[in-house]
Amino acid sequence: MAVPKRKTTKSKRNMRRAHDALSVENWVEDSNTGEPVRRHHIDMKTGMYKGRQVIEERD
């Protein structure tokens, strides 16, 4: 079984874990409906993207 020759310092351990943080989703308020929506995504309820109708609304 492999055994480390030296103790891993707190600095090295924390530098390795620096990339493990969870990323925060970027939410904004929709100008038409006022609901929170993700940036650069199509609103699936209305089919709007950047103020344009991209997907036809279902009846």
pLDDT tens across 5-54, in order? 999 999 999 999 988 888 888 898 888 788 888 889 888 888 888 888 88
Sequential DSSP letters for 12-44: HHHHHGGGGSPPPP-EEE-TTT--EEETTS--T
Type of residue numbered 7: K
Q: Hey, what are 29's tokens?
A: 């308020």
pTM: 0.48
